[in-house]
Amino acid sequence: MRALLLPVVMVGCVSTYDDPWPMRAAIPPQVITRADLGLADTADVGIGDAWISLHDYGIGDVSYPIVGVPGDGLMIESVFDRLRDSSHAQLQTETYLTPDTGSAEEHPDTQYATLFVDVEIVPRLRPLASGDLATGMATLRLYIEVKVPHTCGAPPHTVGGDATGCLSATCPSQQPIVQRDDGTYQVGPLRLAIDVLDQMCQVAS
């Protein structure tokens, strides 16, 4: 009895969905006030007493110390340099194709990203704090919308969206993410750098 051999064709699954876009986010050095964080004017913020961190849904984050400066000011210390692609003190993240709820589109005109800004203080400062920070930590959630070109196009130079949460005792339930003249973004009292980067594209041979 002769065996019948049939050819087997292996068909690979090729994704038809657009790729996510890489992004970086950071908090540049800047001066804010104690009131911006819901701290009393008498709060003596020394080295190691307060810090602000930036993270996404992943396990990594980047943190920046907050220290007092003369007067009512607080300095967010950061070595981030927006003019350097490989600058330290930046968070690497990426967009995703669909909002938190809803079905994914193959080629969406808008992609999304979520960032969290946490401010934490040591226990001795909590009696001098108001709002969420009185518990030791306050959080802003940034819901970012990115109008994207087709995969491997030029990265967009601006993003939109809004933020929820509050770093001080009182603030609007939603705060817009507003681009500044220098290309950074204002979210409540904070200035953030948010950049969409080039995609790593394969060129067909």
12: in domain: no
66: in domain: yes
In tens, the pLDDT along 114-151 reads: 999 999 999 999 999 999 999 999 999 999 999 988 77
116: in domain: yes
201: in domain: no
In tens, the pLDDT along 25-53 reads: 999 999 999 999 999 999 999 999 999 99
Please answer whether residues 191 and 180 qualify as being in contact, where contact means their C-beta atoms are separated by less than 8 angstroms: yes
Work out how many domains the chain is built from and give that number: 1
For residue 140, the model assigns a pLDDT of 94
115: in domain: yes
Which tokens in the block code for residue 116? 């969290």
1: in domain: no
The amino acid at residue 101 is: T
Which residue range is the domain that position 27 belongs to?
Answer: 22-196
CA dist., res. 117 & res. 204, Å (int):
40
